[in-house]
Structure 1
Amino acid sequence: MDHRTLNDLAGELRSVLDELELEAEVEVLDTIDGRLGELRVDVDGRSLRTVVATRADLRPVHARDLPALGPDRSGLVFADRVGGTSRQELVERGWGWFDRRRGRIRLWAPGLRLDTDVAPRLGVAAPAAPGNPFTPAGIEVAVWLLAHPDDSASPRALARALDISPSQVSNLLKALTAHALLRRDRRPLVPELFWALAEHWRPVRHPVAALPTPSELAESPELRADSWVVTDTVAAARLGAGFVVSPDYPPDLYLPDERSLSWLLGRTVRASDDASRAATVAVAPAALACDPRLRLTGEPWPAAHPVVVALDLAVDAGRGREVLEAWDPSPLGVTRVW
């Protein structure tokens, strides 16, 4: 017997489709007669209602015992081993299979012909411990998801957007799912993902006594000043979060990379303490903070995306979190995720 649950089978199929780099969603629908289950599988633009069964060793008698399916349903048997005779029985009854030992999946339905090899799944007695979803690349993925909370995460689409390999994105999405931070439809679970990310949001700020003048910035392309953004208190005040600050309040700036930060710190004077600072500068924990696709226009510096600003406020367990409680970013066209 095989005692995997319907959720286990959905996760296993999702893993196989991810490995094949197919844009797919797998959703658990219901159990049938206590022996079978039903999944909705959206793959390559087609939505399939797929009846699933599981056996440790699928024999011909088991294959013949499977129900015949109508034209609106496909069938898929998960088994540690599917012999040649059993495969023939399944084909005749309109069922596909996933052979874990051989690493072979066949999912056959109107408009879909999937019959290919994947990595064998046997040899692992228990699922591996979930990976860390908040690696440097994972932080980028999490920020993107929070900035697009109504979009289902696609490994290939995220890979293109963030310049990360699809396999790495797939592993990060699996880690988020394992930590219960991603919904079944691969939308971010909020506010849980936001607050989990906030625990890993650790910018290292450097107080400086002065900033280069606009002409100095214009003459120093290595500083990449066109990619700087303002965040935290000044940005929160500008974006309507409830802060009131004076025009000369020291801004907190994010720079796009370590190289530009090093160039800046090498040609300016560091402040002796926070009270004497003209600004703070830091490399953003996520490069997306400086990405033109997310930042908001403004002078003299564009504002970071409200999600980034909110993460900076969340670091302050006192006043910052009080402001977050009351901040509604919907007038900015942004969904609140905290």
Structure 2
Amino acid sequence: MRSVFGNDRTPKPCDDLRVTRSPHADPNAVEELADAVATVGLDFVRPDEAGDVPADGVLVLPDDRQLLVEIETSSLVTTKGLRDQLRLWSHRRRANTIGVVVADRITADAREELRAAGWSWLDTRGHLRLAADGLLIDANVPAALHAPRRREPFAGRVGIEVASAMLLTPERAVSIRPLAAQIGRAPSSVSATIAAFRDANLVTPAGLPRTPELFWELASRWRPTELAIALEPRDGGLLTALRVNFDDFDEPGWALGDSRAAAVYGAPIAIKSNHPPVLYVPDQQVMRRAAQLLVPAREDSTPTAVVRVAPTPLVCTHRQDPSSFPGNGNGEHWPMTRPLFVALDLVQDPGRGREIVDGWTPPEPWSRVW
């Protein structure tokens, strides 16, 4: 501990010492935050060590400045009701303090909302963010030793596949065997994943996907591999070799995603007619063939197209005919993936992409799940 305290362990005077210490901090949360702060090289003085400090602890910076910390706790933080909760927390939060939310789980979109509202957080699964004047820490930390041990819903590809299938039909309660057959997985694997979703409060008691929470959790894992190419497949031989399948949109084949598909579906986005298409291919084997036959684009040139491997085969099934949509003003010809996957593409851009999906409700029969 740095020598910023006297022999009685009382902090140096600060502006707000006249207020009685906060009564609402969970002692377990205080310990979890103290342990996390220690792993990033800072000192956190617990309230029982700090004397009459009007907060749940004191963060000591390397330059010996002290920041009062007030802690709010929750088992799960999602965007549902978060703004109202933040108003409550902010009302009782004292001036000149850092507000830190300590929770067993904080969803990706809730983290964005906390950040925008000026709150720090500790997700006890292993991530700490502390932000204040002269301080910014955003780091992975060890999981809290006594935090509830949850099964990780997205431990493998099956989590992405199950979440995608559920969000495609959000009005339908999950049924293990039909879902397993749909995505080609063993029922036992699907059952274990659904159990993990329930543990994480991403599935309702009625067996429905909890939206938009499940969407944003899936979006945080949506990281398809891609390749910029200099040629589009056009002649019959290439179309066959690369399993493009322009003949039957209900069967697997290449599927248009991202901005060009979003424009056809009526999303509030403006693109040029020569904007390179983003095309999903069914698997890694097709991607390897594409790299051989379609020539990777030079880094200093604009690609003709971008090819991505679908994170789940569902992306490349039940493709949509762009000529069926009134928004097809650019004469789109590529069969499109469904709006769910287009939205997942768009929100990878945390700026303009999120703004676009906020203003977009997909056409029937699809549901808005974001």
TM-score relative to the length of structure 1:
0.59
- Which residue is equivalent to 2:194? 173
Match of 2:294 among 259, 268, 288: 268
Match of 1:224 among 233, 243, 249: 243
Query: 1:273 offset after TM fit, Å?
Result: 2.8
Rounded Cα–Cα distance in structure 2 between residues aligned with 1:274 and 1:223 = 26
Query: 1:237 offset after TM fit, Å?
Result: 0.5
Match of 2:153 among 117, 129, 133: 133
Match of 2:271 among 245, 257, 267: 245
Alignment of 1:1-338 (within 5 A): 129-134=149-154, 135-218=156-239, 221-226=240-245, 227-273=253-299, 275-292=301-318, 295-298=319-322, 300-329=333-362, 331-338=363-370
Compared CA separation, residues 177 and 278, structure 1 to 2 (3 A): same
Query: 1:272 offset after TM fit, Å?
Result: 1.8
Compared CA separation, residues 127 and 322, structure 1 to 2 (3 A): closer
Query: 1:189 offset after TM fit, Å?
Result: 0.2
Task: Say whether the 8 Å CA contact 1:234–1:249 is kept in structure 2.
Answer: yes
| Percent identity between the two aligned chains | 38
Q: How big is the alpha-carbon RMSD for the aligned residues of Structure 1 and Structure 2?
A: 1.9
Rounded Cα–Cα distance in structure 1 between residues aligned with 2:296 and 2:197 = 39
Tell me the alpha carbon deviations over residues 205-238 of structure 1, each in whole angstroms, 9 at most, x when there is no partner: 21111212233434xx331101000000001011
The amino acid that maps onto 2:366 is V
Task: Say whether the 8 Å CA contact 1:235–1:309 is kept in structure 2.
Answer: yes
Higher deviation after alignment, 230-239 or 262-271: 262-271
Rounded Cα–Cα distance in structure 1 between residues aligned with 2:169 and 2:301 = 37
The amino acid that maps onto 2:355 is E
SS in 2 for 1:158: helix
Query: 1:274 offset after TM fit, Å?
Result: 7.3
Task: Say whether the 8 Å CA contact 1:205–1:282 is kept in structure 2.
Answer: yes
Compared CA separation, residues 206 and 238, structure 1 to 2 (3 A): same
Compared CA separation, residues 172 and 217, structure 1 to 2 (3 A): same
- Which residue is equivalent to 2:50? none
SS in 2 for 1:266: helix
Task: Say whether the 8 Å CA contact 1:254–1:283 is kept in structure 2.
Answer: yes
Compared CA separation, residues 177 and 155, structure 1 to 2 (3 A): same
Task: Say whether the 8 Å CA contact 1:207–1:274 is kept in structure 2.
Answer: no
The amino acid that maps onto 2:315 is A
Rounded Cα–Cα distance in structure 1 between residues aligned with 2:339 and 2:162 = 16
4+ residue segments displaced more than 6 Å: none
Query: 1:160 offset after TM fit, Å?
Result: 1.7
Query: 1:128 offset after TM fit, Å?
Result: 8.3
SS in 2 for 1:230: strand
Tell me the alpha carbon deviations over residues 139-162 of structure 1, each in whole angstroms, 9 at most, x when there is no partner: 111001001000000111111222
Compared CA separation, residues 307 and 216, structure 1 to 2 (3 A): same
Rounded Cα–Cα distance in structure 1 between residues aligned with 2:162 and 2:286 = 23
Rounded Cα–Cα distance in structure 1 between residues aligned with 2:286 and 2:152 = 29
TM-score relative to the length of structure 2:
0.54
Query: 1:183 offset after TM fit, Å?
Result: 0.3
Query: 1:275 offset after TM fit, Å?
Result: 5.0
Rounded Cα–Cα distance in structure 2 between residues aligned with 1:181 and 1:142 = 9
Count of equivalent residues: 208
- Which residue is equivalent to 1:86? none
SS in 1 for 2:368: coil
SS in 1 for 2:293: coil
Query: 1:247 offset after TM fit, Å?
Result: 2.1
Query: 1:300 offset after TM fit, Å?
Result: 2.4
Rounded Cα–Cα distance in structure 2 between residues aligned with 1:327 and 1:274 = 34
Query: 1:244 offset after TM fit, Å?
Result: 2.0
Tell me the alpha carbon deviations over residues 1-30 of structure 1, each in whole angstroms, 9 at most, x when there is no partner: xxxxxxxxxxxxxxxxxxxxxxxxxxxxxx
Higher deviation after alignment, 283-292 or 251-260: 283-292
The amino acid that maps onto 1:283 is V
Rounded Cα–Cα distance in structure 2 between residues aligned with 1:215 and 1:166 = 39
Rounded Cα–Cα distance in structure 2 between residues aligned with 1:144 and 1:232 = 19
SS in 1 for 2:256: strand
Rounded Cα–Cα distance in structure 1 between residues aligned with 2:358 and 2:337 = 19
Task: Say whether the 8 Å CA contact 1:237–1:244 is kept in structure 2.
Answer: yes
